[in-house]
Structures are given as C-alpha cells and as structure tokens.
Amino acid sequence: MNTPITLAAAALLASTTLHANQLTNPGFESEFHEWKVQEKQPVSSVTQEAARSGSSGLHLSGPGARIESERLEILPGQKATLEFWARATANGLGVVMLVPYGGNKRPILNEKANPPVIVVVKKSAEWVPYKVEFPSPEEATSIGIWIRSWSRSKGEADLDDFSLKIE
Ligand SMILES: [Ca+2]
C-alpha cells in the first residue's frame, strides 16, 4: 500500500528540481506573480492585448519601467540563455537586462554601473524573438532579468514568453 505514495513523492521531487531552473511565471499568465515592479508612476501592466501566447503579456507605456524577475541559481562555469518575444512602437521602449548576483546578493555590474547584458527591443509592429547567451561570471551565485524603458522613450511595447535557461 505504500508504493503509490512513494511514487507520488518521487514525482513531486522531480518536478520541484526542474522548476528551480526555470521562471515561475514567464508569460505573465499569473499577473506579476514572481516579478517585482518598482515604479514611481505606473508604466507596466499585464494586459490581454500584450499577449503573444496564453491570455496575457507585459505592456510598457512610456519611460520609467522598472521590473525585476525572480532569481535563478547559477554555478561557476554555467551559461544562462535568455529568450523572449517583443514588439514596440519605438526603439528603446523595452530594454531587457541579464543581471548576475554575487554571494552578497548584490548585482554584479560593469565599470559603468550597467548589467553585463542589455537587449534593446527594436521598433516593430510584428512580434520579434530575442535570444542572448551569457557565460556566468565565476563569482555569480544567481541570475535574474531586469526590464526597463529608457528615460526619453515614447510609445508602447509588449513583451511575452520569457525563458531563462541555466545549463
Ligand atoms: Ca503570455
């Protein structure tokens, strides 16, 4: 009688291990769950119109977007691969950054105080896929995504279907 319980526990353990290596809410289907929004004026919203797949996506309206993803664990020698889809009415409205964090939980920034990977969404009426690979610095213990819109940007951007793979 114990066998089914043991199998269920094993299955649960396997799925937990898998999710530690993936974003929990990559397509904004659960609103901003596991995304942190820190904006003086509301710029970001989760809307149906901003969906590329599923029933919702991230919509940015004008400058000042400031969003952070959850952080995934990364080990020395591992590589992070970031993918997402976006469309925008102007260049620079959607800016997606890959940010490694050190053991002190602080972001590891370059000499200009910028994250090492910055992807700028280009003007396009159609959805465009973006992909970037990043070999993690030795001192990094976790990695996450920041989403911004440049301070002078005007217009609208939609982003959806994020993926952050650590391998
Ligand atoms: Ca979605």
Query: Distances in Å between the alpha carbon of 118 and those of 51, 75, 92, 134, 162?
Result: 23, 21, 11, 11, 15
In angstroms, what is the span from residue 52 Cα to ligand 1's centroid? 6
In angstroms, what is the span from residue 142 Cα to ligand 1's centroid? 24
| Digit-coded pLDDT (tens) for 69-99 | 999 999 988 999 999 999 999 998 999 999 9
Identify the CATH assignment for 3-166 out of 3.40.50.10860, 3.40.50.20, 2.60.120.260, 2.40.50.140.
Answer: 2.60.120.260
Ion ligand 1, residues whose Cβ is below 5 A away:
27, 51, 54, 57, 160
Domain parsing of the chain, residue ranges: 3-166
Written as one string, the DSSP assignment of 103-165 is TTS-B---TTS--SEEEEPPPEEEEEEEEEEEEPPTTEEEEEEEEE--TT--SEEEEEEEEEE
pTM, two decimals, is 0.86
| Digit-coded pLDDT (tens) for 104-161 | 889 999 999 999 999 999 999 999 999 999 999 999 999 999 999 988 888 999 999 9
| Digit-coded pLDDT (tens) for 10-57 | 555 544 444 467 899 999 999 999 999 999 889 999 999 999 999 999
Q: Which tokens hold the place of 142? A: 């976790």
Reported as type and span, the H/E element at residue 14 is helix 3-19
